[in-house]
A and B are shown apart, each in its own frame.
Chain A
Amino acid sequence: GAVVSQHPSRVICKSGTSVKIECRSLDFQATTMFWYRQFPKQSLMLMATSNEGSKATYEQGVEKDKFLINHASLTLSTLTVTSAHPEDSSFYICSAMRGPQPAYNEQFFGPGTRLTVL
């Protein structure tokens, strides 16, 4: 159990285009989903937290107009990178959490999406 999928796993796009990444919890309902970014040999960096039906909460320094997050249901969240530029190239990973209570607050990670912007 506790499987999270992400699609696509890899995307290469031209500068200026938009890219949408989907994150799905396959066998549980996730009240909260998180989006991270990770550069090579660096730690995970939290970009935003999203709750189903609510606007996402973005971390300081993350442009909400550039990284659009939609958490439309308890099993689906999407991240859209708008007008992507080469500096947006990174490994984007989502995670999902069933609830905030202990034993329900484990975060399960998707396999990640590797974005390359040419």
Chain B
Amino acid sequence: QKEVEQNSGPLSVPEGAIASLNCTYSDRVSQSFFWYRQYSGKSPELIMSIYSNGDKEDGRFTAQLNKASQYVSLLIRDSQPSDSATYLCAVMDSNYQLIWGAGTKLIIKP
């Protein structure tokens, strides 16, 4: 059974601080990893994709991947109240389907 695990939260972070979101996955052969943001009542929005070990930065977002530890994370720098949402970790399986984590609810406090 392929699984993606996330802490459901809520994770509360002060405005301007770094938010750190974590995800582990069970399928060792996975090659493609994604972070989505979903606001209540809306569809998911792709934030980051990552395919290689190490860090990938895009603006205030940094994704980190460690395939040996089967671990992927998302850092949000200078957190803003508008970053408050549920963050979904997704791992692509061999059928090109996404295996989803349950999501971490992030709350940025002004």
Indicate whether A102 sits within 8 Å of B31 (C-beta atoms), given known contacts A93-B43, A97-B96. Answer: yes
Q: Using C-beta atoms within 8 Å of the partner chain, give the interface range for chain B.
A: 20 to 34
Q: How far is the CA of A91 from the CA of B44 in the complex (A)?
A: 12
| B34–A46 touching, CB < 8 Å | no
| B46–A111 touching, CB < 8 Å | no
Q: How far is the CA of A22 from the CA of B41 in the complex (A)?
A: 19
Residue of B34, B102, B103 near A107 (CB, 8 A) is: B34
| B97–A106 touching, CB < 8 Å | no
A17 within 8 A of B: no
Q: How far is the CA of A107 from the CA of B46 in the complex (A)?
A: 8
With a cutoff of 8 Å between Cβ atoms, the chain A residues found around residue B36 in the complex are 109
B30-61: CB near A (< 8 Å → 1, else 0) gives 01101010000111111001010000000000
Q: Using C-beta atoms within 8 Å of the partner chain, give the interface range for chain A.
A: 20 to 34
| B100–A43 touching, CB < 8 Å | yes
Chain A nearest CB from B49 CB (Å) reads: 5
With a cutoff of 8 Å between Cβ atoms, the chain B residues found around residue A44 in the complex are 44, 88, 100
B75 within 8 A of A: no
| B96–A32 touching, CB < 8 Å | yes
With a cutoff of 8 Å between Cβ atoms, the chain A residues found around residue B97 in the complex are 34, 46, 49
Q: Among residues 93 to 110 in chain B, which have CB atoms less than 8 Å away from a CB atom of chain A?
A: 95-98, 100, 102-103
With a cutoff of 8 Å between Cβ atoms, the chain A residues found around residue B96 in the complex are 32, 49, 97, 100, 105
With a cutoff of 8 Å between Cβ atoms, the chain B residues found around residue A93 in the complex are 43-44
With a cutoff of 8 Å between Cβ atoms, the chain A residues found around residue B42 in the complex are 111-112
Q: How far is the CA of A2 from the CA of B96 in the complex (A)?
A: 18
B-side residues, CB < 8 A to A, are 31-32, 34, 36, 41-46, 49, 51, 88, 92, 95-98, 100, 102-103
